[in-house]
Amino acid sequence: MQLYKLAIILLISLTVFYTGCKKPSVKSEQPTAAAVTVDTSELKTTALGDAEAKNLTLQYKPEKGKTFYYRLTSVTEETGKIIADTTLYPKSLQTVTYSIQVKANDIEDDGTVDALFTVSAVKLSVNMDGKKIDYFSGDKNDQAKREKFLEYEGIINNTFGARVKSNGEILELYKTDKIINRLLSLRKISRDTIPAQEIEAFEQSIIMSGLRPIVRQVFREFAKGQVSKNSTWDVAQQPMNLQVVAFENKAVHTFNGVEQLGSEKLANIAIRLEAKSMQNPELAKRKMSVSKSTLTGDGKLYFNLNKGMFQKNKTIMVLALAMKGVAPTAKGMQNYSTDKTTTSTYYLELLDVLEFPQNR
């Protein structure tokens, strides 16, 4: 059961709206804490005519061997109200920023991109009801702090690979075994003491909940075939199961046209989340009920047509959930109600290598 306890510590909570023993060839450069700070400003672009947005094929075409430097940030704010024997108003704000190097290791004959991902740094800031916690992987953290953030310590400078079709469909993730081994080592768990089936289940949990969302933020799915201004396409998202309620959702994309940024052209893509909720049929047996369950979201994506990679993205997802029920307490059965709203904002920024200075 050790691995199941470890698996619940996710490397990153991102809903994308949500092989060999040689060392990877990606150069591992350590960003400073200042470099791992999100830039929320809008790109200063100029809209081009509709002729520029006619019959385009959106596809990933990075230059083979080139490394792209990204800053990926998630900002999650939770507010709520809990009524039981007393009334509480919990509030929290968490910001996690990743500095990521993505190297186009190979471009296959059919356009499939073989990319190497290296997380160079992680910066975390949490404010929970006034209590603050900060972490930066580049600091000389003491053992106590390191143990609190082993999920981040385990991925720093630990390269893994992804094969992605030219339209953004993820085919596979590989070289994940080194991350799993490091996570086990940091937790002082011997791989030999864990059944192979449990190891495999743990690895899949880390891939699906931690690594794949990182890849999906960099490589989103495009429409198959050509698009013109106002073209739309849908991408089904992984269902979200919150036990009391589950959501089936899809991301609806709209191609808004082409814009100029300096000497380069960007495709402007709007994104909207559509979701349908389904309550757990067992709620009534547990004397629980859900009065509100909504999942909404939108955003803007800028795809660099010259580089064949994303330039800057921002997406927002809002989850609202209200429920009530009865729970056992020291004083007997107690009625309770909760009403919580979680707003998650995600930023992806393509940076210049100069924004990744070496720590001295």
pLDDT tens readout for residues 249-305: 999 999 999 999 999 999 999 999 999 999 998 888 888 999 999 999 999 999 999
Contacts of 178 (CB under 8 A, 6+ apart): 158, 159, 160
Report the C-alpha gap between 332 and 115 in whole angstroms.
56
Angle between helices 177-186 and 196-206 (to 10 degrees): 100
DSSP state of 111: S
pLDDT at 5 over 60: no
Q: Is 109 helix (H, G, I), strand (E, B) or coil?
A: coil
Chain position carrying tokens 């904002």: 345
Tokens of 206: 């880390």
Q: How many CB atoms lie within 10 A of CB 161?
A: 19
- With beta carbons less than 8 A apart as the criterion, state whether 290 and 247 touch: no
Contacts of 150 (CB under 8 A, 6+ apart): 9, 183, 186, 187
DSSP secondary structure of 21-74: SSPP-S------TTTSS---PPP--EEPPGGGGSSB-----PPTT-EEEEEEEE
Please give the pLDDT value at position 230: 97
Listed residue (83, 81, 99) closest to 91, CA to CA = 81
pLDDT at 3 over 60: no
Amino acid at 55: N
- Which spans in the chain are helix H? 2-7, 143-148, 150-153, 177-186, 196-206, 212-218
Mean pLDDT of 83-96: 94
Highest mean pLDDT among 162-166, 201-205, 323-327, 355-359: 162-166
pTM, two decimal places: 0.87
Please give the pLDDT value at position 37: 82
pLDDT at 14 over 70: no
* Tens-place pLDDT, residues 149-189: 888 888 999 999 999 999 999 999 999 999 999 988 888 88
- Domains with residue ranges and CATH for the chain: 2-13+45-352 (2.30.230)
Listed residue (314, 311, 315, 295) closest to 303, CA to CA = 311
Mean pLDDT of 59-88: 95
pLDDT at 358 over 80: no
Listed residue (182, 188, 169) closest to 113, CA to CA = 169
Q: Categorize the per-residue pLDDT at 17 as very low, low, confident or very high, splitting at 50, 70 and 90.
A: low
Lowest mean per-residue pLDDT among 16-30, 83-97, 342-356: 16-30
Q: Is 202 helix (H, G, I), strand (E, B) or coil?
A: helix
